[in-house]
Amino acid sequence: MALVAAALLPCAPAFAQAGVVASYRWLTLTVFAAVIALTMYVTYLAARRVHSAADFYTAGGGVSGLQNGWAIAGDYLSAASFLGIAGLISLYGYDGFMYSVGWLVAYVTVLLLIAEPCRNIGRYTLSDILSYRNDPKKTRIVGALSTLTVSTFYLTAQMVGGGVLVKILIGIDYETSVVCVGLLMLGYVLFGGMVATTWVQIIKAILLVSASILIVMLVWAPYGFSLPAFLADVVADPKVQARVATLLGDPAKAMSAAELGQRFLEPGLYFKAPVDQISLGMALVFGTAGLPHILMRFFTVPSAQQARRSVLWAMVIIGGFYVLTLFLGFGAALRVGPARIAAVDAGGNLAGPLLAQFIGGGPDSFFGNLMLAFVSAVAFATIVAVVAGLVLAAASAMAHDLYVGVVRAGKDTTAQGQVKAARIATAVVGAMSIGIGIAAKGQNVAVLVGLAFAVAASANFPCVLLTLYWKRCNTGGIIAGMLVGTIAAVGLTLVSPNLTYPIAVRATAHKVLDEAPARRAALAAANAAGDATQAARSSTELAALDKAVAKAQADLDKWGTQNASFMGLEKPLFRLKNPGLVSIPLGFLAVILGSLLYRDKRAEEMWNEVYARQNTGLLVSKSTAH
Amino acid sequence: MHEGVDWDALIQDPRFQTLHRRKTRLLWGLMVLSVVYYFLLPIGAAYFQDFFRIRVWGAVNVGLLFALSEFVVAWVIALFYARQAGREFDQLAAQIAADYA
């Protein structure tokens, strides 16, 4: 312990602002050790129950609806939604909360159209559903490729985002934190398969929800749990008003302080183009129903009724959590202040942890650091739990679809052989995720989560939906839909404004540099004339200006001679940030045209069987008892 | 194809036809309702800002209440579906499954 602490000390000043104070480092390590020990013990118990492929991929179908609901919440509330949304609310107010709504509404689609039929006709993977009445080899190949694509995008975002967070929160370096997350996750999945993954997700979700409830109680209690009283304080806060003034720029000059504060509760501070938000909303609402690691969770329950119950529980937990983030986000804006949150992490990801520390008594108190350590441990458990679910989905596509279903098609693979294949695939995907995490260090990966949802919504969702509900759908449609949906979503993103366009970056940088001297002079004049508050304000603004100038200079140095983006474009060809609005209809069109142009009598003959089974649950594979 | 279940007869069974009809109507009706209600939020936030801005309860404005109502509507749709399914569909499905297994 002393050695570890000594090794960590030299880098302390760099993160002192955000992480646990060095003298309380032992506290962080203790809380982390407790959380890891608990999950390890569960894995040890689970490992003894994994004998067959069904145990490894689906926990033998023996998970209850309530357990699965918690596990879905644990799988779904990734760092992006748990830290990111509270951060967005703390920095942009209303728009951040509006953003969270789509993540819950997505589950209505899952409940109504996907969960029960998938439970009734599926076994382990997305491709099991696609291949049921279609050419098994071809549909398994496209289904597996799409699963690997979606999971890899999502995985990269989790690994890189998680690595950065763990680095800031605990102060270990980026590579070490990526390797730690990767190895721990591999431990759970390799030995405990879906049983351990399910329990790690349940434990994480319970920790996350209890931590959030505790923080919200402490933030809200002083107002007698009155929403208007709490919000009245938020809008009256000078830190919040200053943030709105900064976001609005010139128009803010004509507004009173009260108007500025109230503006924080009104739309338009984050989302500038409505069409962007609608496109992202479509990707969320239809994409969740096509995420392979979420679909996989429905194979772990014994019946359609339990699948339904699991979505209901998941909606209660996920929705309740997002309502709590409203208080976490506004509470962080009020107590910590948007400027300080943005200074630690520009995306606001540390709003929740910083609020926890403040509520506990601040950076110098024992309880403040205990709260921060606890929230950090939850963040760490979140990344591990989400990554475990993703790796399991990717490994099942490799081992069950590609190896057992295509390479060894028609040959008998023993139970031990299947489990061995699953474990080898898990090790391969796990090693790959660590490699990608390290290789993508410093990259802007936020776009990858949106892209994962877009591919799931444009390729997986139309294929699954139409093979379940449209008689004429066949192999041709599935192949066309998977290819067109994936290529459209990825292709449109590559030519979208998400990439860096050096000409635009340089133009912005020049503008900042050109305006800097005049701005500096104005601030100096205001400073000379004003009182003490004015002086304090100017010095913060001056520091921000210095930072902007330094960034502009760095951008100019970095992009000095280059004119084109990564794709060789000087400006974006496609103006939407998320491709959903265009790529989802394209995916549906491809499934329909592909099915109509391809003749496949078997798919139509099997329709009655598929439709009867998905509605009645006949012949559903029963839970295997040990 | 599967252990001799006569799928064609099952599909033709009047009980299955009833199940299919009721389920289709309920599922797609609720689905359309959910999607339309969801997209009212970004559309309202973009084009009806003056309406969203109206304060109704202290600092709480129409926009905040509307966003909160999205949660309530999603939960109500889910509960309504689960209640209908538990009351009607499960029984019908179990009867049919028992007869044709």
- Structural domain contains residue A58: yes
For A20: left if phi > 0, alpha if psi spans -120 to 50, otherwise beta; the answer is beta
| ipTM reported for the complex, 2 dp | 0.94
Residue of A616, A619, A620 to mutate, interface with B, max B Cβ within 10 Å:
A616
Residue the block writes with tokens 């506004």: A330
Contacts of A234 in chain B (CB under 8 A): 59
Are the C-beta atoms of residues A178 and A47 closer than 8 Å to each other? Answer: no
- Structural domain contains residue A417: yes
* Chain B CA closest to residue A103: B71
Give CA torsion, residues A319, A320, A326, A328, to 10 deg.
-130
pLDDT tens-digit profile, chain B (101 residues): 445 788 888 888 899 999 999 999 999 999 999 999 999 999 999 899 999 999 999 999 999 999 999 999 999 999 999 999 999 898 889 888 888 87
Better-scored residue on pLDDT, A586 or A171: A586
- Structural domain contains residue A39: yes
The tally of domains found in chain A comes to 1
- Structural domain contains residue A151: yes
Q: Quote the pLDDT of residue A9.
A: 35
Token output for A124: 């382990």
Contacts of B45 in chain A (CB under 8 A): 94-95, 98, 267-268, 271, 274, 277
Minimal Cα–Cα distance from A98 to chain B, Å?
A: 6
**CATH, residue A430:** 1.20.1730.10
Token output for A172: 């270990």
Which of A616, A498, A499 has the alpha carbon at shortest distance from A567?
Answer: A499
- Structural domain contains residue A499: no
Q: How far apart are CA A50 and CA A470, in angstroms?
A: 37
Minimal Cα–Cα distance from B101 to chain A, Å?
A: 7
Q: Count of A–B CB contacts within 8 Å? A: 157
Within 10 A of A375 (CB to CB), how many other CB atoms are there? 28
Q: Is B57 helix (H, G, I), strand (E, B) or coil?
A: strand
- Structural domain contains residue A187: yes
Per-residue pLDDT tens over the stretch A517-563:
888 887 777 777 766 666 666 777 777 788 788 888 888 888 777 77
- Structural domain contains residue A527: no
Minimal Cα–Cα distance from B67 to chain A, Å?
A: 6
Between A278, A309, A615, which is nearest B42 by CB? A278
Residue A210 half-sphere exposure toward CB, CA atoms < 13 A: 10
Q: Amino acid letter at A469? A: Y
- Structural domain contains residue A503: no
Which of A328, A360, A261 has the alpha carbon at shortest distance from A84?
Answer: A328
Q: How big is chain A, counted in residues? A: 626
Instruction: Quote the domain boundaries for residue A373.
Output: 24-458
Q: Is the pLDDT of residue A211 over 70?
A: yes
Question: Does the beta-carbon distance from B71 to A274 stay under 8 Å?
Answer: no
Are the C-beta atoms of residues A261 and A267 closer than 8 Å to each other? Answer: no
Question: Does the beta-carbon distance from A262 to B55 stay under 8 Å?
Answer: yes
The counts of H helices and E strands in chain A are 30, 0
